[in-house]
Every structure is written in C-alpha cells, then in structure tokens.
Amino acid sequence: MALRITVIGAGICGATLADALARRGAQVTVIDQALPAGQATGGSFAWINSNNKPPRHYHDLSVRAMAEWRQLAASFGAPDWYTATGALTWAVTDRGRAALAEKVARLRDWEYPVEELTASAAAALEPALRLPADASFVFFPAEAYTHGPAVVDALLTRAQAHGAQVLTHEPVTGLTTVGGRVSGVRLASGRTVPGDLHVCCAGWRTPDLVEELAGGQVSLVPVDTVGSKAPCLIADLGLGQPAPIRRVILAPDITARPGGDGGVRVEAPDLTDRIHRHTPDAERAAMSADLVARTQRLLPDWEPRGSRQFQVCVRPLPVDGHPIVGWLASGLYVVVTHSGITLAPLLARLVCRELLDDHLDPVLTPYRPDRF
C-alpha cells in the first residue's frame, strides 16, 4: 500500500515536495491554512542564485539547487514562470567596488560563472536602466528568477494529476500521536487527517506547530519583535504593463526584476532591514514612496501607470541562516529555510529520497535540526 504522507504548507517547499513525492507514488495530502503561495513564496523576490551564500557547503548546495531548477523547469517544457536571464550588478563607491571585487574573486575561486562588463555592454543588456558611466559592472549569467504563485500552481496541479489531494483554507492546529509516533494532523474544522509520515513546511509558523514535539530544534528569528529581520517590504509597480527590464537587477540602492503580473517587483535591502511588523503606518508609507522614487531613478523613462501593490512579507529565517531539514520526532519531518525559492527543488529531491528510500544524503548533514 502507498505511504500516506501529509505535507503541511503549500509554499514552495511544500509544493516541490508534494510534486516529488506524488510522482514517486506516495499518497500525498497537502494542507494549507489559506491559499497556496499566500505567505513568503508569494511575496518573494524569487531570485535563484548562489551569489552570496558562504560558507562553501552552503554555496555548493545553492549551486546544485540552481541546476535542479533548470531540470524542474525543463520537466514542464518551457514554462513562463522560470527565466534564466542572469543578474546584473554594479558598484560606484570605493567601498562598493572593493566589496564587489572581493565577491567576484571568491565566486571565481569557487568556479561560479561571473563576467565583468564594460558600461556599454551593461547598457546593451538592459537599455532602459540609467547606469552610471563610471562604475564596475558584473554579470552573473547562470542566475534566474521565478514567480512563486505560478510555479506553486504548476507543481500542485502536477501533484494532483499523480493523485495528491490539496486542502486549502484548512489551518492545522496540532498533531496527534499514537505510542509516541505522530499519526495525524488536527484541523481547525475539527477533522483529523491520518497519515504515516508528516512533513511540516509551514514557513515562519513552523515553530508554533512543532514546538511541543521538537523542543527547540526549529530555531527561527522571532517575527514580531521590533527590529526583527524576518519581515521585508516588497513592491509590485506597473502591474499589467510590459516589464522594462529582462533580468534581475542588483543596483546599489534597489533590486528589481520583471513582475509576475507585468511591471516590476522591487525591494531594497536597507528598507527591508528597517521595516518590522510594528512599523507605524506613516513610516511604512514613507518607505514605500522611497522604493518608488528609487525605481524611478533606476528607470527614468518608464512610467508605472498600472496599479501598484506594497506588501510586508515575513521570511522564515533560521537563526544561523541555514536550512533546517530532517526528522523532529517519529513520523514528523521538517523543511524550513531562508532562500527557499532557490533551494526548494533540490531539498524536495533529497527529502523525497530520505522519506521513501531511507537514503540519507551527506549534503544535508550541516542542516539537521539537532544542531540547535
């Protein structure tokens, strides 16, 4: 009889895993408290990269994950939710140039594809950008981006074609146990869904669900504190309009890429550092206006006329920055990670082999929950 596996959470981690498990013949039930991709995955910048992922083991994991994305996309033909056009960056100040040169040296040493460009070559890649003439330009040709909601939809649809059940608007409130082994999940609706194995992919809410059984093994940055690094500000500008850029742009004060529904998706690392869930409305509005102004400086001839949307999204952030992947208790497994867009397809493949074949891949050794 097929193994009954319950996946809690339909973000990128849950969706990639459900797809991989269902295609291997497991009887999969995916449960989300709301709609799929409604949390970090939907709000993500979704840049697929290993651009700044030291130490070496984490860099190598991310590079493998980039290759896994190419395979995943190819398995769907040529899906419009995966675009491998690389990423362009530049530095203007002495400090910025030094940091970029150091990064380029490290990435070259690690055999990561990096190209230094002239200003005219950079302008030819992205003609709509206002680029400083006197800057150091670098292109990362192997990088890509995706659109979280679209890829999750494709993965869940394929999982369903392989027999998976997807339950939405069904918050999981707890886990049931029999003889110390997790035997099912309790839903807010009062129903219990029995299973043989349970994988928690609930993003930043994971600790709430597993704490009782896992006892501190899922250690995430707290979300609600003033100054927490988990919340991010992200904006979609010019929704419905053609995108003026083709790839991920990492400018000194803003990052941008084509949006999933047209226009551009933008964020700024310094604003993300400052925003938290208690940021007063007026300050949040000023940050949003700042994001728009930076976009206009980057794309001076592009006028975002369509509608715009600003979101404060919460990232699941393990306290040491690295994935948490492994058994928490008998019958209960966890996958929670930052950079989950980049890593999820690879983690899904590795976890699928662990759950179905008992194959423990040494590449996951640094990321086991018992390190905390």
Ligand X SMILES: Cc1cc2nc3c(=O)[nH]c(=O)nc-3n(C[C@H](O)[C@H](O)[C@H](O)COP(=O)(O)OP(=O)(O)OC[C@H]3O[C@@H](n4cnc5c(N)ncnc54)[C@H](O)[C@@H]3O)c2cc1C
Binding site for ligand X (CB under 6 A): 8-14, 31-34, 38-41, 43-47, 171-172, 201-203, 205, 209, 232, 234, 267, 313, 315-316, 336-342
Retrieve residue 253's tokens: 């004060």
Residue number with the shortest CB distance to ligand X? 11
Retrieve residue 350's tokens: 């590795």
CB nearer ligand X, residue 35 or residue 98? 35
3-state secondary structure 100-150: HHHHHHHHHHCCCCCEEECHHHHHHHCCCCCCCCCCEEEEECCCEEECHHH
Q: How far is the CB of 148 from ligand X (least distance, A)?
A: 6
CB nearer ligand X, residue 117 or residue 317? 317
Q: How far is the CB of 48 from ligand X (least distance, A)?
A: 6
CB nearer ligand X, residue 26 or residue 172? 172
Q: How far is the CB of 343 from ligand X (least distance, A)?
A: 7
Residue 336 — φ and ψ, nearest 5°?
Answer: -145, 135
CB nearer ligand X, residue 93 or residue 157? 157
CB nearer ligand X, residue 26 or residue 40? 40
Query: Around Cβ 173, how many Cβ atoms within 10 Å?
Result: 14
Residue 177 — φ and ψ, nearest 5°?
Answer: -130, 150
Q: How far is the CB of 1 from ligand X (least distance, A)?
A: 26
Q: How far is the CB of 118 from ligand X (least distance, A)?
A: 27
Q: How far is the CB of 256 from ligand X (least distance, A)?
A: 12
Q: How far is the CB of 42 from ligand X (least distance, A)?
A: 7
Q: How far is the CB of 204 from ligand X (least distance, A)?
A: 6
Place of tokens 């869930």: 277
User: Rounded CA gap, 162 and 312, in Å?
Assistant: 35
HSE-up of residue 242 (Cα within 13 Å, Cβ side): 3
- In DSSP terms, which residues pair with 8 in a beta bridge? 31, 200
CB nearer ligand X, residue 89 or residue 337? 337
CB nearer ligand X, residue 21 or residue 234? 234
Please give the radius of gyration of the chain, using alpha carbons only, rounded to the nearest integer.
Answer: 21
Strand order in the sheet with 307-314: 115-117, 136-140, 87-91, 248-251, 254-258, 264-267, 231-239, 307-314
Question: What's the burial of 312, exposed, middle or buried (CB within 10 Å: 0-12/13-18/19+)?
Answer: middle
CB nearer ligand X, residue 279 or residue 342? 342
